[in-house]
Structure 1
């Protein structure tokens, strides 16, 4: 779904001739991503927990099979979050992670407050996920969050390009803000793939 100045966020869909609405508040979506990273839940449990988190009228949902619930789950992710589980499970290409919402929570909060004068804690339940994404993407380059992204993506200059002091500084910043192998977003991607395999060909 593209973002324009005429975009409307009705976040509604129909299922079995009944109308449902999706809770697209930014904090709910962040909690959803954290849930996918929860190793204490089975993959099939995550589908129902996700639907319960996302769909306001979850109690009105009726499924004939587990596969039907999974298909609705895939539809909601694709339609409202642009997450295509079918394509994700087919692709083996790994993208370099520049940030994650858990480790960078303080940076994101501070940057929204500094740049937009927005207190994200006061916007829970109100700020739409799409708006949050746009604001995050277009934060000022001098904001704490964008500065850290800059260090993560920066190549260490050569001796000809910069002084030893600056090169040491860049190395230190890259080490401090490094995203290690336990990156939650990579775990989320693995969880999506596990969900696809868990329900593929099930009866």
Structure 2
């Protein structure tokens, strides 16, 4: 989390040298898009990411990318369990996020491109109220379907329609990973039942 007793920084120290960064939220989101690319090699992704994040024409060693992630980016991501369903995607949900920031904070994210620090953005995102559209959508995606009974058929049907409407598009890689995790959970359940 942000330490409100300390100023936010837009640099990292690498080999005794201060490296200035463009750490605005939109730049970091562009960098994440680069890392999702299925065509580029890992080294190319790192080069493009550094070109986006580092100010100036001299691009430092790839090792500085690890420092940037550790000090400026990853420290603000919550650890999620491996079985946790993904409920937000900054790219697919950009309209919901935009309207939610405008509603809750009066912040126009388009006007803040290149200005709003990544750490401020994440802190504000995590603090959005339940009444915002993105929090509503995230809640729908995360809500489990109850076991059917004679009283909740209409609710289940309605929730299934909402989940389908707000479903995130997932990559083939993510689809395969979810399938493998599902098979593993099924096997664990069957083994547990067989033991009892």
TM bracket (short chain): 0.7 to 0.9
The Cα shift of 1:61 comes to 4.1
CA distance in 2, matches of 1:139, 1:17: 38
5+ residue gaps, structure 2: 176-196
Match of 1:44 in 2: 43
The Cα shift of 1:94 comes to 5.5
The Cα shift of 1:95 comes to 4.2
What is the aligned residue count? 171
CA distance in 1, matches of 2:13, 2:144: 49
Q: Deviations over 1:43-95 (max 9, x none)?
A: 111111111111113x2345xxxxxx232221221121127xxxx9xxx9454
Match of 2:109 in 1: 120
RMSD of aligned Cα (Å): 2.7
Structure 1's 162 and 55: CA in aligned 2 closer, same or farther, altered over 3 A? farther
Instruction: Assess if the C-alpha contact under 8 Å between 2:51 and 2:59 holds in 1.
Output: no
Structure 1's 14 and 155: CA in aligned 2 closer, same or farther, altered over 3 A? closer
CA distance in 2, matches of 1:105, 1:6: 30
The Cα shift of 1:118 comes to 1.3
CA distance in 1, matches of 2:22, 2:150: 49
Question: Does 1 or 2 have the higher relative contact order (CA < 8 Å, sep 6+)?
Answer: 1
The Cα shift of 1:141 comes to 0.7
Instruction: Assess if the C-alpha contact under 8 Å between 2:100 and 2:134 holds in 1.
Output: yes
CA distance in 1, matches of 2:103, 2:172: 26
Structure 1's 72 and 52: CA in aligned 2 closer, same or farther, altered over 3 A? same
Residues 59-70 of structure 1 mapped to structure 2, 5 A cutoff: 59-61=57-59, 69-70=61-62
Structure 1's 61 and 109: CA in aligned 2 closer, same or farther, altered over 3 A? closer
The Cα shift of 1:158 comes to 3.7
Match of 2:187 in 1: none
The Cα shift of 1:168 comes to 1.1
CA distance in 1, matches of 2:168, 2:3: 32
